[in-house]
Amino acid sequence: LPRFIYRSIKINHVLSRNLSTTQRNDFRVTVVGAVGGIGAPLTLLLKLQPDLVTELNVQDLVKWTPGVALDISHINTAVKVKAFTGAEQLRESLKGADIVVIPGGVPRKPGMTRDDLFGANAGVVRDVAVACAETCPDALINIITNPVNSVVPVFCEVMRKAGKLNPSKIFGISTLDLVRSSTFVANLKGLDPGKVVVHSVGGHSGISIVPLLSQCQPSVTLTPDEVKTLTNNIQQAGTNVVKAKVGAGSAQLAMAFAGARFAFNLLRAKKGESNIVECAFTLNNSHGTKYFSSRLLLGKNGIEKDLGLGKLSDFESECIKKAIEAIKKNVAKGEQFVK
């Protein structure tokens, strides 16, 4: 063979070998609290995505966890399902996990704020964090358990104490605020909700939720009254579901969808897809608090870049000021708990 052809074959061979060793397509996802109201539908959605999920570890405290895992395992997709029951098997369930999704914990009842769940749920998140620090410190962590604004700091502080903190890999899931924003704007303007993108920044609780309606894609014209009403409806949406469920818990199905969407986008980015942008509540001191949900470009190792908040309207800037004050208190509560 002429020398240059031989050299290019050799180079291509080396390149493709390197690509095949760095390009991963087999991902293990562990769901902690997989049998609960959010966990079960979330696990179902993960089972339906064999292109992104290879192995699905189903962990929960209840003794019928193997039954739920067996049930889901009968769905004819290539995703391999394994059950892990009780706190004793938590560590085993986390081994080799690429993503750990945590929907476990107690939901709200009417009249409660998310903050009222701190006493019940902070300990759950702390224990999972201790197990993750020991077993899968490099995994991408998705925390759905409320109050997100306080338990994400709990998780991060446990990791910090263990010397394993990587802020690019720990996410509080605020995706449902984006999902709701798209739906509410689309319903008001007669658009297809699947084609409307609205980012929501700040945190995931009451006034800390700030939908960036002025940056909606496609761009929509909203009167100041419409902006106020939409913002309030988005901030109160979770509470309205809690009220409408009259004591039977909070959002489960839409939250499962939102949790799955975020996990899928992380996996797509991990596979090498570019331009994947989501908002999530992370350790991020670029916006006036230690933690903030910003627009994030996702990459192979979690957060690749904070894309910032873009051009804000005066109304949004005012909302963000209020959000920052609320988030600061929520974060202090989480940090104090771990001290």
Site string for ligand LMR, 156-185 (x = CB under 6 A): --------------------x---------
Residue among 114 and 270 whose Cβ is closer to ligand LMR: 114
CB 73 within 8 A of CB 58: no
Task: CB nearer to ligand LMR: give 135 or 174.
Answer: 174
Find the part of the chain contacting ligand LMR (CB under 6 A) among 2-10, 106-114, 286-294, 331-339: 106-114
Of 32, 75, 44, give the one whose Cα is nearest residue 253: 44
Q: Is position 255 an interface residue for ligand LMR (rule: CB under 6 A)?
A: yes
251 part of the interface to ligand LMR, by CB under 6 A: yes
Burial letters 105-119, b for 16+ CB under 10 A, else e: bbbbbeeeebbebbe
Instruction: Tell me if 151 contacts ligand LMR by CB under 6 A.
Output: no
Closest CB 253 distance from ligand LMR, rounded Å: 10
Contacts of 212 (CB under 8 A, 6+ apart): 198, 199, 200, 201, 309, 310, 312, 316
Nearest distance from C-beta of residue 205 to ligand LMR, angstroms:
7
Residue 206 near ligand LMR by CB under 6 A: no
Comparing CB distances to ligand LMR, the nearer of 236 and 313 is 236
Phi and psi at residue 67, to the nearest 5°: -65, -45
* DSSP category for residue 107: P
Distance of alpha carbon 97 from alpha carbon 163, whole angstroms: 19
174 closest CA partner among 277, 293, 287:
293
- Cα distance from N-terminal residue to C-terminal residue, the chain: 68
Which of 47, 114, 270, 333 touches ligand LMR by CB under 6 A?
Answer: 114
Does the footprint of ligand LMR cover residue 242 (CB under 6 A)?
yes
Q: Choose, by CB under 6 A, the member of 73, 85, 250, 293 that binds ligand LMR.
A: 250
The one-letter amino acid code at 109 reads K
DSSP secondary structure string, 295-321? EEEEETTEEEEEEE--SPPHHHHHHHH
**Residue from 142, 146, 235, 282 in contact with ligand LMR (CB under 6 A):** 146
- Interface segment toward ligand LMR; rule CB under 6 A; list 210-218, 225-233, 247-255, 294-302: 247-255
Is 234 a residue that touches ligand LMR (CB under 6 A)?
Answer: no
Q: Determine the interface stretch with ligand LMR among 50-58, 94-102, 219-227, 234-242 (rule: CB under 6 A).
A: 234-242
- Applying CB under 6 A, the span of 90-98, 236-244, 259-267, 313-321 interacting with ligand LMR comes to 236-244
Tell me the window of 28-36, 119-127, 237-245, 299-307 that interacts with ligand LMR (CB under 6 A).
237-245
Q: Decide: is 104 part of the binding site for ligand LMR (CB under 6 A).
A: no
Say whether 204 is catalytic: yes
Distances (CA, A) of 296 to 90, 116, 134, 205, 303: 30, 29, 27, 19, 6
By the 8 A CB rule, do 125 and 154 touch? yes
Catalytic residue (choose from 13, 199, 204, 287): 204
The nearest distance, CB 34 to ligand LMR, in angstroms, is 18
Contacts of 109 (CB under 8 A, 6+ apart): 242, 247, 249
Q: What span, in angstroms and rounded, lies between the C-alpha atoms of 197 and 162?
A: 38
Q: List interacting residues with ligand LMR (CB under 6 A).
A: 107-108, 114, 146, 176, 238, 241-242, 250-251, 255
Task: Show which residues are catalytic.
Answer: 204
